[in-house]
């Protein structure tokens, strides 16, 4: 199980790893209906613009929110009461299976930009590849391919 999860974490984060230097992805486990808050630790000078990204397993990256000169805006798909964004955090409430993904921030000023550390949010229950053809796979099926 842990081996499978590690493989999926790798698959899910290959793009950001290549796009930036090597980044850490930590693991957070949540219960259905729980809450989680992600922090993006970045200094004042570096965050003229800050993006929150979500990458569900097997899916392309989605933009969750943008914070431009301290004004936070949730993208349409995430503009629901369950999502809350502040200048340096993203909170998801009443977590559901569809929230399972790697979350990471990207920030920058006109002088530099960086990816923040990613967090893989694992939601209790089977792991699904939500965007892949055939919709859902049990992780054990994936490992048997």
Ligand X SMILES: *[C@@H]1O[C@H](CO)[C@@H](O)[C@H](O)[C@H]1NC(C)=O
Report the residue from 93, 122, 139, 142 that binds ligand X according to the rule CB under 6 A: 93
Of 5-13, 64-72, 93-101, 111-119, the segment contacting ligand X by CB under 6 A is: 93-101
Nearest in space to 84 (alpha carbons), one of 37, 145, 129: 37
Cα 47 → chain centroid: 19
Pair 10, 16: CB distance under 8 Å: no
Q: Which of residues 30-69 bind ligand X (CB under 6 A)?
A: 33-35
Looking at beta carbons only, is 93 or 142 nearer to ligand X? 93
Smallest gap, in angstroms, from Cβ of residue 54 to ligand X?
17
Number of residues that bind ligand X (CB under 6 A): 6
Q: Cβ neighbours of residue 133 under 8 Å, at least 6 residues apart?
A: none
Looking at beta carbons only, is 9 or 95 nearer to ligand X? 95
Pair 17, 23: CB distance under 8 Å: yes
Residues that bind ligand X in the complex, under the rule CB under 6 A: 33-35, 93-94, 96
């Amino acid at each position: 199980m842990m081996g499978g999860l590690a493989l999926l974490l790798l698959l899910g984060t290959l793009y950001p790893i290549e796009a930036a230097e090597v980044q850490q992805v930590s693991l957070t486990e949540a219960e259905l209906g729980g809450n989680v808050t992600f922090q993006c630790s970045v200094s004042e000078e570096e965050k003229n613009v800050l993006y929150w990204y979500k990458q569900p397993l097997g899916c392309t990256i989605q933009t969750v929110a943008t914070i431009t000169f301290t004004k936070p805006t949730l993208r349409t798909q995430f503009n629901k009461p369950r999502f809350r964004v502040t200048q340096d955090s993203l909170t998801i409430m009443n977590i559901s299976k569809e929230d399972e993904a790697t979350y990471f921030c990207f920030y920058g000023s006109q002088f530099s930009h960086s990816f923040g550390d990613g967090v893989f949010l694992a939601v209790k229950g089977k792991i699904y590849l939500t965007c892949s053809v055939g919709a859902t796979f049990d992780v054990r099926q994936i490992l048997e391919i």
